[in-house]
Amino acid sequence: MLPKKNRADKKAIDRIFKEGRFLNSPSLSFKYTKVAGGEPRISFIVPKSTAKLAVKRNALRRLGYLALSKQEKKLPKGLTGAFVFKKYQDNNETLKNEIETILSKIN
């Protein structure tokens, strides 16, 4: 799991949704902005329409952070973003591949 300092806070997420760009994949959407320098800050958002139970939403967030932790070294400096789940995806390998392809499109 990413440390709290590397996760986007509410103000950053609001700014991302107003000013940011986005990339799509079958089960994820990545909304992001880039600023000069700084640590990369990324969060995962699971809407209630994706999973009704909070336990399942939290599990999806954890799976996302786990898959992202393997890509942490490849994140560009100054990237602030949020992965938003479109549909329920509990397969870790598929999730990891989608995150990889989205991050490769940014670089």
- CA distances to 12, 36, 81 from 20, rounded to whole Å, are 10, 15, 8
- What is the torsion angle, in degrees rounded to the nearest 10, for the CA atoms of residue 69, residue 60, residue 95 and residue 27? -140
Question: How many structural domains compose the chain?
Answer: 1
User: pLDDT (tens digit, 9 = 90+) per residue, 52-93?
Assistant: 999 999 999 999 999 888 887 778 888 999 999 999 988 889
Q: Residue 54: what pLDDT?
A: 96
Q: Residue 74: what pLDDT?
A: 79
User: pLDDT (tens digit, 9 = 90+) per residue, 12-34?
Assistant: 999 999 999 999 999 999 999 99
Q: Residue 2: what pLDDT?
A: 78
DSSP state, residue 36:
S
**Which residues form the domain of 99?**
4-106
CATH code for the domain in which residue 88 is found:
3.30.230.10
pLDDT exceeds cutoff 80 at 107? no
Q: How confident is the model at residue 3 (pLDDT cuts 50, 70, 90)?
A: confident
pTM summary value: 0.90
User: pLDDT (tens digit, 9 = 90+) per residue, 82-104?
Assistant: 999 999 988 889 999 999 999 88
